[in-house]
Structure 1
C-alpha cells in the first residue's frame, strides 16, 4: 500500500493541507482548525507530511511523528519557486506538496525541545548584547563633545564609571542624572548576559556531542551549544562540505556555457552561528598560545579575513567528522582515502 504524501501549510489558527489520495487519486485541498488537524492526523493511516521549517514547524513535526507519520521540514526558499499563482494558503500547501516530491530535495532536521530551548537562550543573549551595545554608543555620543580622551569602547565604559565625579561639572545636572541611569542599565545588562552565558555553558557539560567539540581550537561552550542545537541531526549532512555550505562558508558559484566562476562566501544559513565560528577562528589566528601552522602559513599569502574564513571552514568540517563518526579531536590528524583494490 502506497503512503499518502501531504503538504501542510501551518499558521496560528488556520491550517491548509493538500494531498492526492494514494488509493483513489482524489485531489484534496482542505482547511483545518488546530483541533481538527490534530484529530485528522491521529486517525489517518501513516503517511508523509511535509511542512515549512519555521518557528512552530519543529513542534508540529514532533507532534506529527507522535501520530506515526513521517514529518519532513523544508526551507521556505525551496518552497517558494513552486507557488504557481498568487500566494495563498491553498497555493502554499500545494507548493509544499510539490516541493517535497522533487528528487534530491534538501530537508531540515527536526529539533528536540531541549535544543530549541538552548537556541532560545542564545537568542535572548543576542538581544541583550545588542541593547548593551546601543546604550554604550549612546553614552559615548552624549559625552563626545565634552570628554574625548577615551581610546576604545570597552575601556571607555570602565573609565566612564570611574570618572563620573570628574565629568559631573562638565555636564548639566539634568543630563547627568540620565547618564547615571544609563550606566546602571548597562551594569544590569552585563549581569543578565553573564547569567545567560553560565546557563548556556552548563548544557555542553551534559551533552556528549558538545563536549567532543570543545576540544577543537576556537570552539567554546557558546559555539559548541549553538552548533549542536542548530544542526540537529548531523546525519542530515552527507559530508563536512555540506555542513560548511549550510553555514554559508563555501564560495558562491556562477556559471554559464560550461564556465564556472567562484565568488565570495555565500553567507547562507544562520548568521549567528557563522559569527560565533568566525570570532573563534579569529581568536585562534591572532591570540592563541598554540597557533595553527596551516592558518598562519595561509595568512602570509592571503588577506587575514580570508585566512579566518578558511580556518572556519576547516573547523566546520572537523566538527562534522567528529559528530558523524563519533570520534574525538586529534590535533594534526590527516585523513586519507582508502586505496581502491585492483581486480
Structure 2
C-alpha cells in the first residue's frame, strides 16, 4: 500500500511541476513583451517578479501588472502544493526499512530514492543489478555483424522517469567529481577523460542503479571503496 501511495504522490507532483513550468514560461513570455527579462531559473524569476510587482519600476501597464500579480499568486500556491506533496513523500519513505541506506548512495536524493523504492518495491523481481539497469534502459544497445559486436546508445527501455532521475542524480555527482579524492571521483574522472563527460554520467547512472538494487535487496550499507573498487 505504501508503494502505491508513494507512486500516486509522485504522479500528482509530476503534473503540478509541469503546470508550474508552463506558468513560469508564460510569465517570462508576457513580461518580455514589455521589455522585462528575467534571469535563468525559477527562483531567480520569483525573486525578481516579487520586486517588480512591489515597486513597478518598469512602469508596466495596469492590466499587465494585475495579470502578473495574479500569476505570481498562483505560482506561490503551486509551490506550496508541491512542497506539501514532497513532505508527504518523504514521510512515507522514512518508514521504509532501507530508505536511509539508499539515501547514503551518491546521487540518491529524496526524490530519486522515492522513485526507486516505489518502482521496485522489494527489488527481488530482478536477479541482479544488471537486470535492473537493463530494465531502466541504462545499458547500451548491441548489434552484431560478421562476428563483431558493436555497442550503441542506451536502449531507453522500461521506466523513463526513473532513468531520467538516475541520470540527473549522476550528473549532480559528476559536477563535483573533480573535487572528490576517493575511488568514486577517480573512477568517474578517468572515465570522463577516456569517453567524454556525457557517457561518464550515463555510466555512473548505471552504476548507482546497480548499487541501489544491492542496497535495497540486502542488509548491506554503501561503501564507496567496495562499490568502486
Q: Same fold judged by TM-score > 0.5?
A: yes
Bigger Rg, which one: 1
The answer to whether 1:284 aligns with 2:173 is yes
Instruction: Report the counterpart of residue 18 of structure 1 in structure 2.
Output: none
Q: How does 1:188-227 map to 2 (within 5 A)?
A: 188-227=77-116
Instruction: Report the counterpart of residue 19 of structure 1 in structure 2.
Output: none
Instruction: Report the counterpart of residue 240 of structure 1 in structure 2.
Output: 129
Q: TM (normalized to structure 2)? A: 0.89
Instruction: Report the counterpart of residue 24 of structure 2 in structure 1.
Output: 136
Higher strand share: 1
Instruction: Report the counterpart of residue 321 of structure 1 in structure 2.
Output: 214
Q: Is the Cα–Cα contact under 8 Å of residues 7 and 119 in structure 2 kept in the other structure?
A: yes
CA distance in 2, matches of 1:302, 1:311: 12
Q: Is the Cα–Cα contact under 8 Å of residues 139 and 154 in structure 2 kept in the other structure?
A: yes
Change in CA separation of 1:302 and 1:170 when aligned onto 2, cut-off 3 Å? farther
Deviations 1:256-310 (A, max 9, x none): 4543321111111111111211111111111477472211222233332211111
Q: Is the Cα–Cα contact under 8 Å of residues 204 and 211 in structure 1 kept in the other structure?
A: no
CA distance in 2, matches of 1:161, 1:334: 46
CA distance in 2, matches of 1:321, 1:314: 11
CA distance in 1, matches of 2:139, 2:226: 22
> Counterpart of 1:208 in 2: which secondary structure?
coil
CA distance in 1, matches of 2:152, 2:209: 20
Q: How many residues align?
A: 224
Deviation at 1:167, TM superposition (A): 4.0
Q: Which runs of 5+ in 2 are unaligned?
A: none
Change in CA separation of 1:287 and 1:197 when aligned onto 2, cut-off 3 Å? farther
Instruction: Report the counterpart of residue 38 of structure 1 in structure 2.
Output: none
Higher helix share: 2
* 1:308 alignment partner, one of 169, 176, 201: 201
* 2:60 alignment partner, one of 163, 171, 191: 171
CA distance in 1, matches of 2:122, 2:146: 37
CA distance in 2, matches of 1:213, 1:335: 16
Q: How does 1:87-106 map to 2 (within 5 A)?
A: none
Q: Which runs of 5+ in 1 are unaligned?
A: 1-112, 337-343
Structure with the bigger RCO (C-alpha within 8 Å, sep 6+) is 2
CA distance in 2, matches of 1:127, 1:290: 36
Q: Is the Cα–Cα contact under 8 Å of residues 137 and 163 in structure 2 kept in the other structure?
A: yes
Q: How does 1:51-200 map to 2 (within 5 A)?
A: 113-154=1-42, 155-167=44-56, 170-200=59-89
CA distance in 2, matches of 1:282, 1:311: 8
Q: Is the Cα–Cα contact under 8 Å of residues 168 and 176 in structure 1 kept in the other structure?
A: no
Instruction: Report the counterpart of residue 332 of structure 1 in structure 2.
Output: 225
Q: TM (normalized to structure 1)? A: 0.61
> Counterpart of 1:219 in 2: which secondary structure?
coil
